[in-house]
Amino acid sequence: MRTYFAALLALLIAAGCAVGSGAVVEGAGPDDLLKLRKGPGLDYAIIIGLPDGTRLTRQNCVTNNGKVWCRVALTDRPGISGYVSAEYLGHR
């Protein structure tokens, strides 16, 4: 039953990950940065840290080890892209 709810939650989060939709970094905190990574998981190298309020363009989302990761590009610098945890993405 627990697995069912986890899968349902992941599906609901992924459904909100419409390709090309705008997103903003939320919840990293005033003294921390959201890590933009080369791949969808904590084992991937960090490209750059993103402060709260950073505007992103969401490209697609995947589930890895029970967590949803979204491929994003910086709205102001679309050449910089990678993956972030969907937990820290808000809509703009």
Can you give the CATH number for the domain in which 35 is found?
2.30.30.40
What's the structural domain count of the chain? 1
Identity at 87, one-letter amino acid code: E
The DSSP line for 34-79 is EEEESSSSTTSPEEEEE-TT-EEEEEEEEEETTEEEEEEEESS-TT
- Residue 66's region, left for phi above 0, alpha for psi from -120 to 50, else beta, is left
Along the 92 residues of the chain, how does pLDDT read in single tens digits? 555 444 444 444 444 555 668 999 999 888 899 999 999 999 999 999 999 999 999 999 999 999 999 999 999 999 999 999 999 999 76
Name the residue among 23, 67, 31, 75 with its Cα closest to residue 51: 31
Q: What is the rounded radius of gyration, in angstroms, for the C-alpha atoms of the chain?
A: 13
Q: Which two tokens stand for residue 25?
A: 């970094």
Domain extent for 45: 2-91
pTM of the model as a whole: 0.77
